[in-house]
Chains A and B, each alone.
Chain A
Amino acid sequence: MAILEIKEVTSGYGDVQILWGSTLSLEKGKLTCLVGGNGVGKTTLLRTVMGLLRPWSGTILFEGRDVSKLPAYAKADMGLVLVPEGRQLFTDMSVYENLEMGATNQRARPNFAKNIERVYEMFPRLKERGGQKAGTLSGGEQQMLAVARGIMADPTVLIIDELSLGLAPVLVLQLFESLKLLREEGMTLLLVEQNVQLALAISDYGFVLAEGKTELEGPARQLIKNKHVRAAYLGL
C-alpha cells in the first residue's frame, strides 16, 4: 500500500519552473531512495511535498488524503517529517532543545520520553552533549542531531535529504545502519541522495529524477544493474 503518493507535481521558484512532472510513491514500511545528479530538483520536490513551496499542479496524497495545499506545520502533525538538506538545526539552541523542538507536533508530544530514550540509544553522543549549543557540534554530530530531531517528531514517513553530504564514510555507514533499524521498526523512509551507489545499496526501491521529472523507477537491486543508471550515475 502506498503511504505517500506524488503525482505529476510541477513547481518552482518565481517564474523559474524546476519540477516538470515528478511522480513518486512510497510503500509503507519500505526504505525508498530518490537519486539524481546535482540540480535536478530533488530538494525542490521535497520542499513542495512538505508545503514549504506550493505545487503549481499535480497532487500529493498522504495516507490517501490530498495534502497538496496544507502548510508545512500541519504535515508534521500528520506524521510526515523531513530532515532537511544542510541539517537546518536551531544552531543557537542547545542539543536538548533541538530534540524538544523536534517533538513539537501533536502526535509526538505524548511519546517524548520514549523517543528521546530511543535517539539517545542510537546516538549516545547527543546525550553527552545535551547542554551544548547545536551550532558548536562537529559536522557528523550535527547530522546525527538532524536525524535524531526527525525521529523525535515520531514520523510515520521520514524523509532525509542528503544524509551523506560532507560526512566521513564510516559515519555515513553508521547512520545508514540506524536507518535500517528504523525500517525494521516499521517506519517508512525516503532517502534522497546524490551518492547513488550507496543509496541504492541499502534501499528496497528507487526512483531516478532527471531534469525535474521521474526518469526511472524500480527495485533498487534492478536499478543498480540498469545500464543507463550505471553509465550516468555510477560512472561504470
Chain B
Amino acid sequence: MQQINILLASLPDGILLGFVYGLAAMGLTLIWGVMNVINLSHGPIIALGMFGTFFLFTRLNLNPYAGLIPVAIMGLLLGVLIYVIAVHRVINAPHLSSLLATFSVNMIIIGLGTAVLTTSPYNVDFSAGSFKLGSATLLGTRLIAALVAMLFTGGLYLFLYRTRPGKFIRAVANNRSAAELMGVPSTRILALSFGLGTMLAAVSGALIATFFPFNILSGGSYELKSFVIGVLGGLGNPIGALFGGLILGMIEGIIPAFLEQSWVPVIEFGLFVLILLVRPSGLFGAKK
C-alpha cells in the first residue's frame, strides 16, 4: 500500500519530466537523423540553456518562460556557429572525426564554464505554485515545462512537415546529393538543422533550470539520458524521441516505489543495452 502511495506521488512527476527529457533527446536525434553526427556537445549546451534562464531571470528579471525565446534564439545561433566552425569540415569524414570535433566543443564549453561560473550549484528561485492530483502534488514549473515541451514538439513537427525549410531538412536527411541537385543549398540546411538541434537542447535546459539546481556539468546526465531515449525511440526519429522520453520519465517515476533511487541509472542503461541487443532500430523505428 505504501508503495502504491509512493508510486502515485512519483509517477505523474516522472511523466512530466519525461516530456522535457524527450525534448532534449529530440535535439540529439534530429542532428543524428539529418547528418549522422553524434553531438557530444549536447550536454554543455543543455547547461548553457540553464544558465541562460538563470542570468535572464536574475539580472534582467525576465520571467523564465519569456526567457525561453532569447534562450532558443541563442541556442540556434550557437549551433549554427558550432556547425560552421567545428562540424562542417568533418561532415563527410568517418564518424570518429565528428565525435572528436563535437567532443572538443564539449570540453571548450565545460572548461570556459568552469572557469567563469565555477562548479558550485546555481538555482533559479522561481515558483509557479503547485496543485494536487489525487494524492500527488505537482509542481507548476514541471507542468508548464511539460506543456512547453509538447508545444515545441508540435512546432518541430509542423516545421518539418509543413514549411519549405523543414521539407528541405527532411530531403537533405533523406538524400543529400539529390537535394543538392534539386537546388537545395545543403550546407546551409545542415547548419540550420544543427542549430535546431542545439536550440532544443538549450530550451530543455532552460526548462529544467526552473525546478532543479544546476552547474555547468549538469547537462552531462541529460545527454546520457538523451542517448538512451534516442535508442529507445529510434535514432533520427524526433517523434519517437518524445515517446522515448515519456518511457524514461515513467521508469524514473516507478523505480523509487520499489528500489533505491541509485538503481535508476542501472535500470536505464540496462534497458539501453537491451534495446541495442534486441531491437537496435528502436521501439518506434529509426531513420532508414
Contacts and interface: CB of A to CB of B under 8 A. Distances in A.
Interface of A: 50, 52, 71-77, 81-82, 84, 88-93, 97, 100-102, 104-106, 108, 135, 149, 153
B181 interface: yes
17 contacts: A52-B177, A71-B185, A72-B180, A73-B181, A73-B182, A73-B185, A73-B186, A75-B181, A84-B178, A88-B177, A88-B181, A90-B178, A92-B170, A92-B288, A93-B174, A104-B168, A104-B183
Contact of A90 (B174, B183, B287): B174
A88 B180 contact: no
Contacts of B171: 90, 93, 101
Nearest to A146: B178
B132 to A, nearest CB: 45
A6 to B, nearest CB: 17
B264 interface: no
Nearest to A100: B167
Contacts of A82: 181
Number of chain B interface residues as a range: 10 to 19
A-B CB proximity, top 4 nearest? A76-B183, A105-B183, A88-B178, A104-B183
B184 interface: yes
B179 interface: yes
Given A100-B167, A101-B167, A73 B174 contact: no
Contact of B180 (A52, A91, A92, A97): A52
B182 A104 contact: yes
A74 B173 CA distance: 20
A149 B182 contact: yes
A81 B170 CA distance: 21
B184 A104 contact: yes
Nearest to A102: B182
A153 B177 contact: no
A71 B180 contact: yes
Interface string B173-210: 11101111111111000000000000000000000000
A101 B177 contact: no
Contact of B175 (A77, A81, A90): A90
Nearest to B178: A88
B182 A76 contact: yes
A92 B181 contact: no
A74 B178 CA distance: 13
Contacts of A92: 170, 173-174, 287-288
Interface in B75-120: none
A81 B181 contact: yes
A91 B288 contact: yes
Given A73-B180, A101-B179, A104-B183, 11 more contacts: A71-B180, A76-B182, A88-B177, A89-B178, A90-B171, A90-B175, A90-B179, A93-B174, A101-B167, A101-B168, A108-B183
Nearest to A153: B182
Nearest to A87: B178
Contacts of B170: 90, 92-93, 97
Contacts of B178: 84, 88-90
Contacts of B174: 90-93
A162 to B, nearest CB: 15
